[in-house]
Structure 1
Amino acid sequence: MSKNPLYDALADPGQLEKLYELDPKLFRSNLTEALESNPDVALLNFWKIRLEHGSGIDNRVSIKELLNLLPICAVAFLALRIPVLMSIQPEWYFPRFGPLVVFVSLIFYFLKKGHASKKITFGLSAGVLSVVLPMLFLPSDYESSSILMAIIHAPLVMWVLLGLSFTGDNWRSDGARLNFIRANGEVFIYLVLMGLGGGVLTAITLSLFELINFDVSLWYFNNVVLGGVVSAPIFATYIYIDYMKSNGRIASNLANIFTPLFLVTSVVYLVVIAMQQVSPFTNRDFLIVFNGLLLVVLGMTIFSICGRGGKSSFTLV
């Protein structure tokens, strides 16, 4: 059981405001817990009244916040343009550094919000360097299983570091970790929607220029599409964190719908395998597909748990 961070912030109203901006849902949960043990603290009661009378979502777009995103997106775009600017082989560069550029941009976005201590910031910097530097010296032998595994697992390590930048000093809190997982699901949904919109825009744009016999496909993909791909995760995160105030529930609602369906599919499939007397341990492709199905079910189960809200009690073992 982690210590309630609101206790340490009672002497600093500004810190309470930062905790609320970082994660409104976790703040509400911590506030309820703090009021149960300290019902006479005036500052806590002030926050209770404030939240009760201001529970609506302010959907106004902050121009200042959007302008703060532009330098991050610009630097990320230039980082992905390094193969062209410095004559580096794209086949060597993008598998190693393409995903890392996106993760580093998101980590910097959370650090820029100013909620992490210097200790967390130093740890994140060291962690990022420990992932990026080995990628520079890996050989180009893609037939080596060790090199492929290193390239595959590097984004997973960066995802863990992204979680640390999201939770900040509350990284020990189970609620903060679950909120990070919930945010992943919501941001992924926004990314899919943005990708669909971007695909339609690309198709229309190329078709319009093709009608006048003007080929812009190469320039468009090297600049507009590349910039959109690297900027979409950053803007999707902004939409969920700052615009929606972390109140989206799309991922958890979809998980509640599809989890039973996938569970039934898995059970029926296992029954058919048993009836057909097929051994799942002799077919590599089967194992890969079935493991993928199990991962999907696990992910949807986690999002279902995350969507229960603060009133539902659950335990992670």
Structure 2
Amino acid sequence: MMEAHEGLEAQIDYWRGYVARSRAISPADLDELEDHLREQIAERRAGGLDEDESFLVAIKRMGNLDAVSREFAREHSERLWKQLVLLPEDPAAAGVPPWRELAVVLSLAVGAGLALKAGLTWLGGDEVLLRNAGLLVFPFLAAYFAWKRRLTVRLLLALAVPFAALAVVLNAYPFAAEGSTGLLAALHAPVLLWLLAGVAYVGGRWRSDGRRMDFVRFTGELAIYFTLLGLGGGVLIGLTAAVLQLVGLDLEPAMEAWILPFAIPGALVVAAWLVEAKQDVIENIAPVLTRIFTPLTIAMLLAMLVVLTTAGGLIDVDRGLLILMNAVLVLVLCLLLYALSAREPLAPAGIFDVLQLVLLVSALAVDAVMLTAMLARIAEFGSSPNKIAALGLNLLLLVHLLWAAWLSAGFLRGRRRFAVLERWQTRYLPVYGLWAAVVVFVFPPVFTFA
């Protein structure tokens, strides 16, 4: 029997994470199965069973997860599941025909390219295009999630309202030319758009820790596939340009006017489709990548810490270096989240978890030095939109990393379950969205759109 302190939501998250690995179960089917599971649990609870009993009986009565549930029971023999999985072994793989999904994905990819191309043609100025680039591409990625997850009209409207508000603000605010607030709004708007994409991805179940972690995993895998597509496309374009150059033709005008505007947003949509179609392949790659880059990132952070502490007075630290260090800390956070999403939740603590704690402590040390340098610069030269935005982000990172390190240490000492550390990561993510909303909506009028 499961330990009493494991809550019902944790059990459902374990179940969902395992079932999601099956090729036969599409994300839309999984959402429907989870709804059915919850209904079964609610009926059992109304009949007087406790949470564990209701969950186990509901699993037994799920008619679409026979082979998957049996395999789960074999791998997790310490649980009671194996006693209740007594269904046949011939599941019918329901889902959309591959050719139809491919047609939808290619149509959306072309649509995203056309939208960005139209933006390049009709929007005046690089600043305006930078603020609107995410707005042009996001609807097509969200449309894929909406089609894949079969989102309701109510949820689509709930996504459309903040999207429209963001579009109005980015285009109606009288941003000064080459001003700081306009650039900050352009840099933070994608954070809000990506959180909206996350709501679409999880089918509106943003309160579920497991579904939020699914989106974290999806984001990491999307970055991998997008990078691979970019590298492969870059090689093909380079070879094509070299061949054409030999016969006196220049590919650069066509590349700037047509190829890149279609390739970049199109690759994003295609990468999202590949992640959905090849989840089990990436799951084999993800642990390897995190184990390679975690020690390398620790070495990089320690080297940067030495540079920062030996660079002289903190006031004299170059502003460009502080900006780069902010980017490094965000990258470290992304690596940490992806590593946690790739970890088997039920596995005991090991050497890699020790490395994760070392990574957290190293990042905390770098963040503390950066905060000291920022406060010193503000005290010496005064505040500005850029400094306040950077300071706010670093404070958020400090809280996030500090509590994650505390929970990680507790997990290594056997005083906390891994699920507690995982929940902290996913529940803190909306805080970054709130801060991004403040920078986009509040900073411009407060700093007179400068």
Please state which band the TM-score falls in when normalised by the shorter chain.
0.7 to 0.9
Runs of 5+ consecutive residues of structure 2 not aligned to the other structure = 1-6, 13-23, 42-50, 72-88, 348-417, 425-450
Distance in 2 (CA, whole Å) between partners of 1:297 and 1:92 is 29
Aligned-pair distance for 1:158? 0.5
1:101 to 124, 128, 136: 136
Q: CA RMSD in A?
A: 3.7
Give the % identical residues. Answer: 25
The match for 2:226 is: 191
Letter in 1 for 2:101: E
Distance in 1 (CA, whole Å) between partners of 2:121 and 2:182 is 26
Distance in 1 (CA, whole Å) between partners of 2:296 and 2:31 is 29
For 2:63, what is the secondary structure of its paired residue?
Answer: helix
Residue 260 (structure 2) pairs with residue 240 (structure 1): no
Superposed counterparts of 1:1-317, under 5 Å:
21-22=27-28, 37-38=53-54, 39-41=56-58, 44-51=61-68, 52=71, 62-83=98-119, 86=122, 88-139=123-174, 141-241=176-276, 243-245=277-279, 248-249=282-283, 250-271=285-306, 273-274=308-309, 276=310, 278-283=312-317, 284-312=319-347, 313-315=418-420, 316-317=423-424
Contact kept? 1:252, 1:306, Cα under 8 Å:
no
Kindly tell me: are residues 277 and 169 of structure 1, through their superposed partners in 2, closer, same or farther at Cα, counting changes over 3 Å? closer
Letter in 2 for 1:72: L
Kindly tell me: are residues 109 and 277 of structure 1, through their superposed partners in 2, closer, same or farther at Cα, counting changes over 3 Å? closer
Letter in 2 for 1:182: R
Contact kept? 1:191, 1:236, Cα under 8 Å:
yes
Aligned-pair distance for 1:83? 4.5
Distance in 2 (CA, whole Å) between partners of 1:193 and 1:161 is 25
Aligned-pair distance for 1:82? 1.8
Kindly tell me: are residues 63 and 146 of structure 1, through their superposed partners in 2, closer, same or farther at Cα, counting changes over 3 Å? same
Letter in 2 for 1:287: L
The structure whose Rg is larger is 2
Letter in 1 for 2:226: L
Runs of 5+ consecutive residues of structure 1 not aligned to the other structure = 7-17
Letter in 1 for 2:220: G
Contact kept? 1:96, 1:151, Cα under 8 Å:
yes
Aligned-pair distance for 1:155? 1.1
Kindly tell me: are residues 256 and 84 of structure 1, through their superposed partners in 2, closer, same or farther at Cα, counting changes over 3 Å? closer
Distance in 1 (CA, whole Å) between partners of 2:260 and 2:167 is 25
Compute the TM-score of the two structures, normalised by the length of structure 2: 0.58
Contact kept? 2:28, 2:149, Cα under 8 Å:
no
Letter in 2 for 1:238: W
Q: How many residues align?
A: 300
Contact kept? 1:252, 1:307, Cα under 8 Å:
yes
Distance in 2 (CA, whole Å) between partners of 1:54 and 1:262 is 46
Distance in 1 (CA, whole Å) between partners of 2:141 and 2:346 is 30
Aligned-pair distance for 1:81? 2.0
Aligned-pair distance for 1:102? 2.2
Compute the TM-score of the two structures, normalised by the length of structure 1: 0.80
Distance in 1 (CA, whole Å) between partners of 2:8 and 2:52 is 16
Which moved further from structure 2: 223-232 or 194-203? 223-232
1:36-56, Cα deviation, whole Å (9 max, x unpaired): 53444476453442324689x
Letter in 2 for 1:158: L
Kindly tell me: are residues 61 and 254 of structure 1, through their superposed partners in 2, closer, same or farther at Cα, counting changes over 3 Å? farther
Distance in 2 (CA, whole Å) between partners of 1:298 and 1:153 is 17
Kindly tell me: are residues 91 and 289 of structure 1, through their superposed partners in 2, closer, same or farther at Cα, counting changes over 3 Å? closer
1:209-261, Cα deviation, whole Å (9 max, x unpaired): 222223343124322232111100100000011x2146623344312321233
